[in-house]
Structure 1
Amino acid sequence: MPLRTTATRLGVLAAGGALAALPLTGPAAAADTAGNKAPVYKGRVIAKNGLLLRNAPHRGSRVIRSVPYGKVVTIFCKTRGDRVGNNDLWYLLTDGTWAWGSAHYIVNIGKVPRWC
């Protein structure tokens, strides 16, 4: 199995583990191992027709919902996935439903998100 595929699957599994734990505490209460609150990352959707959010960081995965152009979204972390344009990064968004959006269509506001 290629390294990229393995790394992507590990990233998805790690994010899935984080998702499984969060319903007990909620995204606002997510903390790192030192007990500090996880940093909050923001981005703005720049896809003119809105951005489709998916259940995995792959173009062929199931669409969960969409986000309109210009909306500011909250980003939990980033991982590598399918390439969109020249960008293979995907962001795990925490606005309502946890879902993946291609970083190609999201401009960071402030700090770049951490890795999942």
Structure 2
Amino acid sequence: MSLRILLMRFGIAAAGGALLAFAATTPAAGADQEDPRESKQIAKGEVIARTGVLRGAPTRGGAVVRVAPYGEIVKIYCRSEGQNVSGDRQWHLLVDGTWARGSAQYIEAYRTPRLCA
């Protein structure tokens, strides 16, 4: 093997190692941006219904997106008015990957969520 080829291979290996070290110590692009699901504006709450049906719209006729089990801790993005459920018109928009809505009658918020825009 010629000296020239050996030096080329060494240079490529050194450059690759330097690139790896740089990538390991540099934050990813956008890493300083806050994930909206982890925002300080997110309130947490607990499902207090036996079966917490989460819907796509703030009405009892809205499509069922998923069912949350009793006691599940959920992240509430905001609250808005919707269909009356047992005297309560407040609905929570949940941040769990599905953006489902649940009646405030069945989700007890630990603090009052902000209003939806």
Same fold (TM > 0.5): yes
Which residue identity lines up with residue 112 of structure 1 in the other structure? T
SS of the equivalent of 1:104 reads coil
Q: How far, CA to CA, are the matches of 1:47 and 1:96 in structure 2?
A: 21
TM-score under structure 2 normalisation?
0.65
The match for 1:114 is 114
Which residue identity lines up with residue 69 of structure 2 in the other structure? P
Q: How far, CA to CA, are the matches of 1:40 and 1:70 in structure 2?
A: 18
Q: How far, CA to CA, are the matches of 2:89 and 2:60 in structure 1?
A: 11
Q: Deviations over 1:4-37 (max 9, x none)?
A: xxxxxxxxxxxxxxxxxxxxxxxx523xxxxxx5
Which residue identity lines up with residue 29 of structure 1 in the other structure? D
In the alignment, does 2:79 pair up with 1:78? yes
Answer whether contact 2:42 2:78 (CA < 8 A) is retained. Answer: no
Instruction: Kindly tell me the number of residue pairs found equivalent between the two proteins.
Output: 82
User: Cα RMSD between the aligned structures?
Assistant: 1.6
The match for 2:52 is 51
1:39 deviates by 1.2
Gaps of 5+ in 2: 1-33
- Percent identity over the alignment is 46
1:59 deviates by 0.6
Q: How far, CA to CA, are the matches of 2:40 and 2:115 in structure 1?
A: 12
Gaps of 5+ in 1: 1-27, 31-36
SS of the equivalent of 2:105 reads helix
Aligned pairs for 1:90-109 within 5 A: 90-109=91-110
1:95 deviates by 1.3
